[in-house]
Structure 1
Amino acid sequence: MEITERYFFQEDQQAVIHLPQRPNGFGILYIGGRSHYVENQESCLIHHVDKKGMIEYFRSQGYTIFTCNFYGRHWGSDQAVFLANTLYHSVMRKETLNPAIHIIGEDMGALLVCKLFRNSPIRIRSIVLINPILNLQDELEMERKNIVFFKRTLHEVLNAYQTNHLNFALKQGCNFYENITPIKIYSSTRNHYKWKNQIRLIEQERLSRKLDFSLLIFHEEKKYAYARDIHHFFKLHQKVL
């Protein structure tokens, strides 16, 4: 019987490696957002119909995809960054993979990705961001329009950063302006405020520095329908091993 998933614990969080039938030697670290989970021997990447289609396509192309629970709603906390680092090294020991990996960050996962490429020993080949949250402070300001959502998000952020002081969390932000790693952002038409403001700013800053950047705007219902386009982007950055 073919083994397609291998579950294990990384620190105290459940993790999973989604295994291809014919490995191509390249790995993808998937860092999800608010609906992301790996628990009870189950992964949202195979229980969410559209995400499963995307993951199955990557597997069919030989990619090894790995992720973990990241403490739930992590909001890019240092604890989650440390876990991502240990997960990477654990997978590198378990699987025969090129040490330079691709990363997909969705929603708040982008906050964690940003910190990884700023100050992590992980070798990152390319980055894909799907409907990313790029700035924690801006996200909280948008949430203020609905006091119920704002209070919930504020509680999550303080809990993730293990602090009672919001400024402590906000001071740990970062940006995608300077790192040379190629980046492609997939942003929904519903996400118009972010791609007209935050994402366009990143685009301007990176292109002014002659750093690799591309953007694709899509309809929300097709969020996970761009696996082939992502694969094409990945392949562009696999020529140098």
Structure 2
Amino acid sequence: MENRNFQMDTQWNIIHYPEKPTGFGILIIGDERHFVDENKCFWSQNEGKLAIIDELKKSGYTIFSSNLYGRNWGSDHAVELAQRLYQQVIRSEILNNKIHLLAEGMGALVAVRLMEKMKGQLRSVVLLNPILSLKNHIELEKEHKFFYKKLMRELTSAHMKDQVTLEKELKNMSVELNFDWSVPIKIINIMSSGKSYNQSKQMQLLLAKTDINPTYIVPEKKKQLGYMMKKFFNQYEKLL
């Protein structure tokens, strides 16, 4: 069996099985385009993402992911479901209970909160083109009225709040990063557009007071992502 799809709280989830499992698991939290349905998911449909999954499966990783209510923007519901998925997978599969976390874009908002809530259950974290601050991301999008309106519609839906309440909360939101610094973190940024350049500048400001040095790569090097992630994860598997 290559993969198994199942539902939790109306949301589809998927487990990708390696041919020769090593007992280590990776939870993938996707970006805006991410989805999981009854028989497939974005990461198995997208050529570049599938190459990463194939590389990680080849190394024996059991990989699991959830639809997480679509464009969740780090909502409480998404964080809670991700935790429940972890618990379900640990119960049903033969896996070490300390897992790796791989999050892309918007998915980093959930990942950062999981790092606080899942202390002792995470082995390492890879963030790909991450959005680390919702407040800063919205400030960037304000320059593009159409995208800002669309983003605010998604946010009010995801967080189940009206726009006035949400904007007030965002205004008071701290931009300080609340990472669990005991978990090893690798950030990879693909410099593919002006937007990714602006996001990387914003990220550098957020990380200024930390010891994290992001890795920057050009789009032509994307084929190396699976290998880079595998190499990073492998460093933190010496202690079970």
Q: Is residue 2 of structure 2 the alignment partner of residue 4 of structure 1? A: yes
Identity of aligned residues (%): 34
Is 2:103 aligned against 1:109?
no
Q: Deviations over 1:209-235 (max 9, x none)?
A: xxxx34210123544631111111001
Taking the aligned partners of 2:221 and 2:34, their CA distance within structure 1 comes to 18
Verify the 8 A CA contact 2:175 2:206 in the aligned structure 1.
no
User: For residue 210 of structure 1, what is the aligned residue in structure 2?
Assistant: none
Q: Does residue 215 of structure 2 align to residue 216 of structure 1? A: yes
Among candidates 58, 80, 87, match of residue 78 of structure 2: 80
Contact 2:115 2:179 in 1 (8 A): no
Deviations 1:108-127 (A, max 9, x none): 00000011111235611100
Residues in 2 aligned to 1:192 and 1:158: alpha-carbon distance in whole angstroms: 27
Quick check: 1:236 aligned with 2:240? no
1:146 to partner: Cα distance: 1.2
Cα 1:223–1:107, aligned 2, differ >3 Å: closer, same or farther? farther
Matched, 1:205 2:209: yes
Matched, 1:180 2:185: no
Number of the residue aligned with 1:130: 128
After superposing the two structures, state which structure 1 stretch, 162-171 or 147-156, moved more. Answer: 162-171
Shift of 1:200: 5.1
Deviates more, 1:213-222 or 1:101-110: 213-222
Cα distance between partner residues in 1 of 2:81 and 2:36: 14
Aligned to 1:166: 166
Write the distance in 1 (CA, Å) between the matches of 2:153 and 2:96.
39
Closer/same/farther in 2, CA of residues 224 and 176 from structure 1, 3 Å limit: farther
SS in 1 for 2:103: strand
**Alignment partner, residue 54 of structure 2:** 56
Specify whether residues 121 and 182 from structure 1 end up closer, same or farther in structure 2 by C-alpha distance, changes over 3 A only: closer
**198, 207, 215: which one pairs with 1:193?**
198
Unaligned 5+ runs, structure 2:
none
Residue number in structure 2 paired with 1:141: 139
**Residues 17 and 182 (structure 1 numbering): CA distance in 2 closer, same or farther, change over 3 Å?**
same
> In structure 2, the residue corresponding to 1:206 is in which secondary structure?
coil
Question: After alignment, is 73-82 or 165-174 more displaced?
Answer: 165-174
Pick from 32, 45, 48 the counterpart of residue 47 of structure 1: 45
- In the TM superposition, residue 42 of structure 1 has moved relative to its aligned partner by 1.2
Distance of 1:174 and 1:81 partners within structure 2: 19
Q: How does 1:90-105 map to 2 (within 5 A)?
A: 90-105=88-103
* CA distance in structure 2 between the partners assigned to 1:200 and 1:185 by the alignment: 14
Change (3 A) 1:73 1:223: farther
Provide the TM-score with structure 1 as the length reference. Answer: 0.90
Normalising by structure 2, what TM-score? 0.91
Q: 1: CA distance between counterparts of 2:56 and 2:169?
A: 34
Q: Distance in 2 between matches of 1:174 and 1:77?
A: 18
Aligned length: 233
Question: How far 1:197 sits from its partner (Å)?
Answer: 3.4
What do residues 47-80 of structure 1 show as CA deviations (whole Å, max 9, x unaligned)?
1111111101100110000001000000000000
